[in-house]
Chain A
Amino acid sequence: MKKVMMGNHAISHGATLARVQVIAAYPITPQTQVVELLSEIVADGKLKAEYIKVESEHSAMAACIGASSAGARAFTATSSQGLALMHELLHWAAGARLPIVMADINRAMGPPWNIWTDQNDSLSQRDTGWMQFYCQSNQEVLDSVIMAYKVTEKVLMPAMIVLDAFSLSHTYEIVDLPDQAVVDKYLPPFDFKYKLNVNDPHTYGGLTTPEWYMEFRVKMQEAMEQALVEIKKEAVEFEKAFGRRYDPVEPYMVDDADIVLVTSGTAASTARFAVDQMRKKGKKVGNLRMRLLRPFPFADVREHLKNAKKVIVVDRNISYGYHGIWAQEVKSALYGHSKVPVFNFIAGLGGRDIFPETFVDIVNKVKKLKKPDQELYWVEVKQ
C-alpha cells in the first residue's frame, strides 16, 4: 500500500512492521514524530509492544539493553544531544552483543543550539560497535529498519538507521508500506539464544580480566565482518521479498566518470541531480553514495572508485583538527590500492542547504586542481 508520509513516520511504520516488542524513547526535536506515532500505534493495540516513556535518552538505551537481554526485540529513536547522552550505553549495547535497532535523526550538536541536520552526532559514535546505515529516502528508512533487525539478530550487533533532520525526517514522500505477511515471512520472530533465563541462569557482562577481555573484542570484530557479508546477502533477499535493493554503497554513473562525488544521506540525491546536469554538458562526473559506515565496505569503495581520476568527498560533518569523517574513511580504503587524489569539501553543517549548484561549483574548482592543495575546502562560508 502506497502512502505519503514523513521520514519520521516511515521509521514508526518500519518498527511496527518489524513487530518490535519493547520501545523505550525520550523526545527530542527532530525525532518526536517517530515516538508520537509509535505511542499511538501501541496504545491503539495495533502493535503488541511495551512502551516505556523514559526520563532520558540514557535510560532509553538502558531499557533497550535490559529488554533485549531478556529476549525482546527492542527499539528506540533519538537525535543529536540525545545520541551523545547515550554514548556510554552504545558501547554497552554492542559489547553485550544485543541486536537493538535505533533510528538517529542527524542533527547538529550544540553549542550553539541548532536543530537542523549534520552528521557529527552519529559519526561521533563511529567506534561504538554499531552498524550505521545512512538513508536518502523515506522508503529506504522504512525498509532499513526491517532489514536491520534481520542482520542484527543474525550477528548480534546493534544497528543505527540514520537520516537527515528535516530534509528527510520532515519531508513527505511516497512510501510503499509492505504487507505485514511479507514482512513476517522475511523477518522471523526474535529468538535469542543468550537471553536472561531463570531456568538456565547466567551472568552477562561481569568483570573480565586481561586474560579474556581481548577475546570478547575479537568476536565483536568478527561479528561486524560477518555483518558485511549478511548485509550484502540481505540486499538480495530483501529485493526478492520487496522488490527494492539496498547495497552498502550506491554507485551512480561512476564507471566512466573522471570525477566521482562521494556523498551520504540526502545530499546524495542532490548530487545525482547535479551529476545529471553536468553530464548533459559533457562532464564525466559520477556519484558514489555511502549507505554503510560500519561495517565499512572497503572492497565496494575501492571497486567503484577504481576508474576515477579524482575523488571528491563532500562531508556534512567535521573532525576538528582533521577533516571530514567520510573523507577519512574513503582515503583509508583507497590507501595502498589507488593513487587517485581525494579532495575533501565540508558543506551543509547545521542544516545549511546543499544545492545542485554547490556540487557544480565544487566540481569546477576541483577541475582546476591536479591534487588537493589544502586538507579540506569549506563550501560557501561567510568570511
Chain B
Amino acid sequence: MKPTLPLEELMSPGHLACQGCGAGIAMRVSLKALGRDTMFTFPACCWTVIDGPFPYSCLEVPLLHMAFEATAATAAGIKAAMNALGKDKTTICGWAGDGGTFDIGLQALSGAAERNDDIFYFCYDNEAYMNTGIQRSGATPYGAWTTTTPVKHFKKELKKSIDDIVAAHKVPYQATASVAYPEDLYKKLVKAKDIRGFKFIHIIAPCPPGWKARPEDTVKLARLAVQTGIFPVYEVDGGKYVQTMKTPTRKPVLDYLKLQGRFKHLKENEVADIQKMVDTRYAELEKRFQG
C-alpha cells in the first residue's frame, strides 16, 4: 500500500496532549506538509502544554512561545527578521487555538492579514478555552455547555464566523480543514507554502474532555462535523471558493451532537434550531462554491 502522507514525523511521541486530542493530529499532519524549514510561534493555548515542559519539546522545528494575543504580530516579526537576514525561504507559522484567534488575538490577526504578511496563521479550533478548563470562547457554537455557559444557561450566541472575517481582508489563501481528512489538509498546506502573503488555515480539532466525548470518537466527530455541514471544508484561493470535501447528502446534525456531552441537555426544538442554522449557513456557502 502506498502511503498517502510522508512517513517522516517531525512531532515526537511523549507530548502532553490528552487522549484523542484533535490539536495533536492537526500539528502532526501539518508538519508533514511544512517540513523542517519551518518556525513556529505559539500563544497561550493547549499547545503551550502539549509541546512539553522545559527543557523538553516534542517538535523538531524551532518554536517561540509568546503571549496570548500576539501570535500574528510575532510571526510577522520573525518573518521580517528572516527576510532581513536573507533567509526568506523559511516558512513562518503562527499556531493558535480558537481563543487566541477568534477573541484575544483577533486584532493582531487582522493587522497581519491586512498587511498581507508572508506567514501562515493556523487556528486549531476546539471551540472553547480548553487549556484553562473549558470556558466559552467566540468559537463556541450555539447550544454548547461550557464551564462559563452552564447547562441552565448554555451558549445562546452563534459561533463567530472567523473565516468570513479573514476573507474580508482578501488574503491570498485561506482554508478550513478537519483532522479527519489529513490528506486534504496536507494538500492545502503544500499548495499554500508556495503562495506569498498571508495564509489562514482553520482546522476543526475535537477535544474529548471539553466536548465530553470519547477519545476514540475524535476522528469520527471531526468527520461528522464536515458531513453534517457544521464545519464545511473548503479553500479560498485568490478569492475563489472551492469545496474540497464534498457533502452532497448531508447527515443530520443530531448525528454529531449526540456523541458529545456538551450538547446532551438540548431539547428537540433546540436541535431543530441548530439544524436550521447549519442549513442556512451551508446554503450561503454553497452559493460561493458555485461561484
Chain B residues with CB below 8 A from A212, complex form? 54-55
Q: How far is the CB of A107 from chain B (nearest CB, A)?
A: 23
Chain A residues with CB below 8 A from B36, complex form? 198
The answer to whether residues A56 and B51 also contact, given A66-B41, A196-B62 and a CB cut-off of 8 A, is: no
Q: State which of A44-52, A143-151, A350-358 sits at the interface with chain B.
A: A44-52
Q: How far is the CB of A76 from chain B (nearest CB, A)?
A: 10
A54 in contact (CB, < 8 A): yes
Given B39, B67, B84, which contacts A196 in the complex, CB threshold below 8 Å? B39
Chain A residues with CB below 8 A from B81, complex form? 21-22, 50, 66-72, 74
Given A59, A64, A70, A96, which contacts B108 in the complex, CB threshold below 8 Å? A59
The answer to whether residues A67 and B67 also contact, given A52-B115, A59-B111, A207-B53 and a CB cut-off of 8 A, is: no
List residues 33-64 of chain B with CB under 8 A from any CB of chain A. 36-39, 41, 48-49, 51-55, 57, 59-64
Binary contact readout A186-201 vs B (1 if CB under 8 angstroms, 0 otherwise)? 0000000000111001
The answer to whether residues A69 and B51 also contact, given A21-B84, A201-B59, A203-B63 and a CB cut-off of 8 A, is: no
A207 contacts B73, C-beta separation under 8 Å = no
Residue of B nearest to A60 (CB): B73
Q: How far is the CB of B72 from chain A (nearest CB, A)?
A: 8
Binary contact readout A128-152 vs B (1 if CB under 8 angstroms, 0 otherwise)? 0000000000000000000000000
Q: How far is the CB of A48 from chain B (nearest CB, A)?
A: 7
Among A70, A72, A89: residue with most chain B CB under 10 A: A70
Interface SS majority for chain B = mixed
Separation of A205 and B49 alpha carbons in the complex (Å) = 11
Chain B residues with CB below 8 A from A64, complex form? 77
Chain B residues with CB below 8 A from A74, complex form? 77, 81
B74 contacts A202, C-beta separation under 8 Å = no
Chain B residues with CB below 8 A from A88, complex form? 67
B149 in contact (CB, < 8 A): no
The answer to whether residues A55 and B108 also contact, given A48-B84, A66-B73 and a CB cut-off of 8 A, is: yes
B39 contacts A24, C-beta separation under 8 Å = no
A208 in contact (CB, < 8 A): yes
The answer to whether residues A198 and B37 also contact, given A72-B81, A203-B59 and a CB cut-off of 8 A, is: yes
Residue of B nearest to A70 (CB): B81
Separation of A204 and B73 alpha carbons in the complex (Å) = 17
Q: How far is the CB of B266 from chain A (nearest CB, A)?
A: 36
A202 contacts B84, C-beta separation under 8 Å = no
Chain B residues with CB below 8 A from A198, complex form? 36-39, 61-62, 90
A58 in contact (CB, < 8 A): yes
A66 contacts B57, C-beta separation under 8 Å = no
Separation of A68 and B84 alpha carbons in the complex (Å) = 11
Chain A residues with CB below 8 A from B38, complex form? 198
The answer to whether residues A201 and B60 also contact, given A206-B48, A209-B54 and a CB cut-off of 8 A, is: yes
In this complex, how many residues of chain B approach chain A with their Cβ under 8 Å: the count is 46
Residue of B nearest to A198 (CB): B37
Q: How far is the CB of B201 from chain A (nearest CB, A)?
A: 19
Binary contact readout A56-86 vs B (1 if CB under 8 angstroms, 0 otherwise)? 1011101111111111101000000000000
B66 in contact (CB, < 8 A): yes
Residue of A nearest to B77 (CB): A66
A67 contacts B53, C-beta separation under 8 Å = no
B80 in contact (CB, < 8 A): yes
Residue of B nearest to A63 (CB): B77
Chain B residues with CB below 8 A from A58, complex form? 69-70, 73, 107-108
A196 contacts B64, C-beta separation under 8 Å = yes
Separation of A362 and B277 alpha carbons in the complex (Å) = 72
B110 contacts A206, C-beta separation under 8 Å = no
B51 contacts A62, C-beta separation under 8 Å = no
Given B53, B60, B79, which contacts A208 in the complex, CB threshold below 8 Å? B53
The answer to whether residues A52 and B77 also contact, given A22-B84, A206-B52 and a CB cut-off of 8 A, is: yes
Given B62, B66, B75, which contacts A202 in the complex, CB threshold below 8 Å? B62
A242 in contact (CB, < 8 A): no
Separation of A367 and B124 alpha carbons in the complex (Å) = 68
B62 contacts A67, C-beta separation under 8 Å = no
A172 in contact (CB, < 8 A): no
Among A21, A55, A206, A207: residue with most chain B CB under 10 A: A206
List residues 218-277 of chain B with CB under 8 A from any CB of chain A. none
Separation of A206 and B49 alpha carbons in the complex (Å) = 8
The answer to whether residues A66 and B84 also contact, given A197-B62, A206-B65, A207-B48 and a CB cut-off of 8 A, is: no
Residue of A nearest to B70 (CB): A62
Given A48, A55, A67, A206, which contacts B78 in the complex, CB threshold below 8 Å? A67
B286 in contact (CB, < 8 A): no
A170 in contact (CB, < 8 A): no
Residue of A nearest to B114 (CB): A55
Residue of B nearest to A96 (CB): B64
A70 contacts B78, C-beta separation under 8 Å = yes
B107 contacts A62, C-beta separation under 8 Å = no
The answer to whether residues A62 and B67 also contact, given A21-B81, A50-B84 and a CB cut-off of 8 A, is: yes
Separation of A212 and B67 alpha carbons in the complex (Å) = 20
Chain A residues with CB below 8 A from B83, complex form? 50
Q: How far is the CB of B58 from chain A (nearest CB, A)?
A: 9
Separation of A71 and B111 alpha carbons in the complex (Å) = 23
A55 contacts B76, C-beta separation under 8 Å = no
17 cross-chain CB contacts under 8 A:
A21-B81, A22-B77, A48-B84, A50-B84, A52-B117, A55-B114, A59-B72, A62-B70, A62-B74, A65-B70, A66-B77, A66-B78, A89-B67, A196-B64, A198-B37, A206-B52, A208-B54
Interface residues of chain B, those whose CB is within 8 Å of chain A, are 36-39, 41, 48-49, 51-55, 57, 59-67, 69-70, 72-85, 90, 107-108, 110-111, 114-115, 117
Interface residues of chain A, those whose CB is within 8 Å of chain B, are 21-22, 24, 48-50, 52-56, 58-60, 62-72, 74, 88-89, 92, 96, 196-198, 201-209, 212
Of all A-B residue pairs in the complex, the 9 with the closest CB atoms, nearest first, are A66-B77, A55-B111, A63-B77, A72-B81, A59-B73, A70-B81, A205-B65, A62-B70, A50-B80
- Beyond the given A63-B80, A72-B85, please list 8 additional residue pairs across the A-B interface where CB-CB is below 8 A: A21-B85, A55-B110, A65-B77, A66-B79, A67-B78, A203-B54, A206-B63, A209-B53
